[in-house]
A and B are shown apart, each in its own frame.
Chain A
Amino acid sequence: MLELDGLVKAFGGFHAVDGCSLRVNKGEILGLIGPNGAGKTTLFNLIAGALQPTSGTIRFLGEDVTHLPTDALFHKGLVRTFQIPHEFHRLTALENLMMVPPRQPGESLFANWLAWGKVRRAEEEVHRKAEDTLAFLELGHVAHERAGNLSGGQKKLLELGRTMMTDAQLVLLDEPAAGVNRTLLRKLEEKILILNRERGYTFILIEHDMEMIEKLCDPVVCMAEGKVLIQGDFHTVRSDTRVLEAYLGETASAIERNEAEHDPRVEDMREQELPREDL
């Protein structure tokens, strides 16, 4: 469904993504892990068309989409969410969803005057769909709340909800679990699984929460320094020494170690594999 070939993104002399090749098949939930600064989000930005690659190609549904802008990719069925929630903060939760469906007749400057009936029927349809989506996400009670006033976890759910308002094929989720409490997290996982199984969404998931990766993702891809380090099922990737080195190796910065400390899985790995005094 999605094929990346030798993708490079250089910012000046720094290669954030450095020759990344990857295949995603239909129906998969691919987990993308790797230490901070590995290039995961940059890779997302390249796939979603928010950044243009320095070199390499991206094929989506058999078509070269390397240089298509974000909005064109959306119309092809490639929808993304953001690491930091990008809600439309002065719109209500309901409006946040209602703005999503493509080609709404009321978006034309003149249709509101020339084809009012058509606009109204489309609005009713979109309104119903948005309400159903909010109900599915258990956000119905905040439908008329400004999105900016929602909690961090609710915003994450709203981001997921936006992907449900269109006929998405491939959904890129950037750290859906970050800042989400445990109860909400289980709900989020469940929603992702339902979307995958019942609606046939393919997902790529960037996540630091290893529990979530283990539960949802197959295959798992670990990136480090802009490259794909290894691809395989969760346990293969987890026990691969290169992955441990990437997270905890000599080059890891203090910040990354902090990050690792908060992650129970990596903490496990560390206790098993490395003597304490090394840290």
Chain B
Amino acid sequence: MDIVGLANYAVFMAILVGIYALLALGLNIQWGFSGLFNAGIAGFFAIGAYTSAILTSLPASGRVGGFELPMVLGLLAAMAVAALIAWPIGKICLRFRSDYLAIATIGVAEIIRLVVRTEDWLTGGVRGITGIPRPFGDLPYMESQMAYLAIVAVLLLAAYLLVERQLKAPWGRMMRAIRDNENAAAAMGKRVADRRLQAFVFGSALMGLAGALFVHFNRSVTPEAIDPMIATFLIWIMLILGGSGNNRGAILGAAVIWVIWSVSELLTDRLPTEIAIQAKYVRVFIIGLTLQLVLRFRPEGILPERQHGGGTAPPRA
């Protein structure tokens, strides 16, 4: 592979890292700060993806949509719809203990996936939606990729700053307290159920944004894109490895895991076909082994949760 090809590949990988980092940030709000076991990340990713796709794509016969709205509106709507759908789901499921919440959210994500596959009039069924605009898509390949990377990077930075500030604020302290001990938090007057719902909706909106960025990058979306292996479990591994409860850790975890994941794909694709099949699960094995090693030697992830004990007040003498 020549230098240009390598650079292209690096930019391509960086864009995806940015998108997955947004998912990991969303999960960090839910799990890292609030202790909510969302095992249906792929569902909220899909909602964001299809919302923006329907609103911004070119008209096509046989399904609603094709409103050709600008991408900015698509992104905002993706967040709003993901949040709106997360609200009733959270309202019902957050009453469960965390392990039951995980089962419920897996179920919800599966329902969303089946709806996407079968409701042709809305989502185009298995053929999916094409003709989704991509900003700066008319530029030459490399410039177009760089421009998209810039968009993703700016949105990721904005999301990071937003989440980080919210975490450092009393809101974040309260959420971490609820996570550590919900009974004690309730005894200290905190409305645990309402606060969890806030965190669930907030995190889901970020996941919706990631989904929208994903479809505009690919210019199309099919149900294949909503693979729970990647959009749910890989995100969990990113967060745990990077450091749950730490926003920089979430982003770092996304980068590390995605680089391992895609470079290993690059390598296994070059193997002879006889062993290429086995190589597929070796990749999953490598990810699992990485996670095991990190948890063994750094149980709180590469970047552990930081203490915010100082608050904003200066220390007194």
**Contact of A100 (CB < 8 Å), options: B169, B188, B202, B312:** B188
In the complex, what distance in Å separates the CA atom of A107 from the CA atom of B234? 32
Q: How far is the CB of A164 from chain B (nearest CB, A)?
A: 12
Q: Looking at the complex, which of B105-113, B170-178, B209-217 is the stretch in contact with chain A?
A: B170-178
Q: Which residue of A lies closest to B245 (CB)?
A: A90
Is B191 an interface position by the 8 A CB rule?
yes
Chain B positions 161-175 with a Cβ under 8 Å from a chain A Cβ = 165-166, 169-171, 173-174
In the complex, what distance in Å separates the CA atom of A260 from the CA atom of B315? 47
Contact A128 B313 (CB under 8 A): yes
In the complex, what distance in Å separates the CA atom of A74 from the CA atom of B186? 8
Contact A112 B188 (CB under 8 A): no
Contact A88 B305 (CB under 8 A): no
In the complex, what distance in Å separates the CA atom of A41 from the CA atom of B174? 26
How many of chain B's residues have a CB under 8 angstroms from any CB in A?
34
Report A-chain residues with C-beta under 8 Å of the C-beta of B85. none
Most buried by B among A86, A88, A122: A88
Q: Looking at the complex, which of A59-67, A91-99, A243-251 is the stretch in contact with chain B?
A: A91-99
* CB within 8 Å: A-B pair count: 123
Report B-chain residues with C-beta under 8 Å of the C-beta of A166. 188-189
Contact A107 B177 (CB under 8 A): no
Is A5 an interface position by the 8 A CB rule?
no
Q: How far is the CB of B174 from chain A (nearest CB, A)?
A: 5
Report B-chain residues with C-beta under 8 Å of the C-beta of A8. none
In the complex, what distance in Å separates the CA atom of A235 from the CA atom of B180? 42
Contact A123 B176 (CB under 8 A): no
Chain A positions 85-125 with a Cβ under 8 Å from a chain B Cβ = 86-96, 98-100, 102, 104-109, 112, 119-120, 122-124
> Chain A: residues with CB nearer than 8 A to chain B?
48, 50, 69-71, 74-75, 79-80, 82, 86-96, 98-100, 102, 104-109, 112, 119-120, 122-124, 126-128, 131, 143-144, 146, 162, 166
5 examples of A-B residue contacts, CB within 8 angstroms? A100-B188, A119-B170, A127-B312, A131-B316, A143-B309
Given A70-B183, A90-B305, A91-B177, 11 extra CB contacts under 8 A? A50-B183, A70-B186, A82-B183, A87-B184, A88-B180, A88-B181, A106-B169, A107-B171, A112-B166, A112-B169, A144-B310
